[in-house]
Amino acid sequence: MNNFKKMGMEMQEKLGMKFSPVGMSFSEKMPDKALHFKDNRKGCITPLIFQSAKGKVVAIDANTTGLPCAAFYLGYSKWIFPGIENFLSNQSVFGREPEHLLKSPETAKEFVKSYIPKEKRANTIVFKPLELFPKNEDPVLVIFFANADQLSALVYLIAYDAPMEERIVTKFASACMSIFTIPLEYANKGEKKAVWGLHDISVRKNLPKDLMTLTMPANLFKEIYENMSSSFLVTKNWEKLRHRNL
């Protein structure tokens, strides 16, 4: 039986991380006392998810997605809002300044269409630090909120046993897509791929400037944990980097 509580705490200590590794799982109902937006309240879910790296249980369901984009990318709706392709590119929508993230509405519309969920999600998505996982519960995904030193270590750990494989992916994505949507696609296909995220400039201003995310399926996290004690983490080179983050 996997002990993700132990694994998470040891990984955090070895990497010198201020924030806990976060596990994502599913539930049939909203957990008691979980942090979440009130029904229909507006707000970005990424800073809320970040609270789980600080020790909180965070949950999201169809009524507590905060914004239409999260409802869509988390699978709770079939579209974001009319004109989203204009907003992502170069045209004002509902009086809001366009984001100029994609070159044209046509490009933006094709991008959004590629993520239309086949079925609307019915369950609740739960984020919590790995130390809150009991021995009889495994996460689906593990998320790191990490700085450059810690990301470098995670990249090398992921390559440690498979240096020729392309195991780390980064691409244009909203923050919640890079934390949840794209990593879950890889996990569902059984692929050991980690997604480097939090490039979303509209969200980065709401989190510490030195942090980014790396999200991976639980089996890849387990692999890097098992390799940790024989890896570069035992060297003086790493200890110098770890020490400067303490």
The string of pLDDT tens digits covering residues 10-22 is 999 999 999 999 9
Under 8 Å between Cβ of 197 and 170: yes
- 201 occurs within a structural domain: yes
- 88 occurs within a structural domain: no
- 183 occurs within a structural domain: yes
Does the pLDDT value for residue 40 go beyond 80? no
- 89 occurs within a structural domain: no
Under 8 Å between Cβ of 190 and 222: no
Q: How many CB atoms lie within 10 A of CB 92?
A: 11
Range of the domain at 10: 4-78+117-244
Q: Could you report the per-residue pLDDT of 144-195, keeping only the tens digit for each? A: 999 999 999 999 999 999 999 999 999 999 999 999 999 999 999 999 999 9
- 39 occurs within a structural domain: yes
Angle at 134 between CA 66 and CA 221, to 5 degrees: 75
pLDDT band at 59 (very low <50, low <70, confident <90, very high): very high
Does the pLDDT value for residue 65 go beyond 80? yes
Burial of 236: CB neighbours in 10 Å, binned 0-12, 13-18, 19+: exposed
Burial of 120: CB neighbours in 10 Å, binned 0-12, 13-18, 19+: exposed
Under 8 Å between Cβ of 46 and 173: no
* More confident of the two residues 242 and 38: 242
The pair of structure tokens assigned to 12 is: 């955090």
Taking alpha carbons only, the member of 53, 46, 51 closest to residue 18 is 53
pLDDT value at residue 39: 74
Q: How many domains does the chain have?
A: 1
Cα dist. 19→12, 97, 216 in Å? 7, 34, 16
Whole-angstrom distance, CA of residue 159 vs CA of residue 49: 27
pLDDT value at residue 41: 78
Mean pLDDT of all residues in 119-145: 96
pLDDT band at 1 (very low <50, low <70, confident <90, very high): low
- 3-class DSSP state for residue 167? coil
pLDDT value at residue 94: 86
- Enumerate the H helices of 147-235 as residue ranges: 148-159, 175-176, 182-188, 201-204, 218-227
- 3-class DSSP state for residue 148? helix
The pair of structure tokens assigned to 122 is: 């019915």
Whole-angstrom distance, CA of residue 53 vs CA of residue 221: 16
- 58 occurs within a structural domain: yes
pLDDT band at 2 (very low <50, low <70, confident <90, very high): confident
Whole-angstrom distance, CA of residue 132 vs CA of residue 104: 44
- 105 occurs within a structural domain: no
What is the model's pTM? 0.96
The pair of structure tokens assigned to 45 is: 């879910």
Q: How many CB atoms lie within 10 A of CB 97?
A: 8
Q: What is the Cα 48 distance to its own chain's centre?
A: 12
Q: Could you report the per-residue pLDDT of 140-151, keeping only the tens digit for each? A: 999 999 999 999
Q: Could you report the per-residue pLDDT of 206-235, keeping only the tens digit for each? A: 999 999 999 999 999 999 999 999 999 999
- 111 occurs within a structural domain: no
Average pLDDT of every residue of the chain? 96
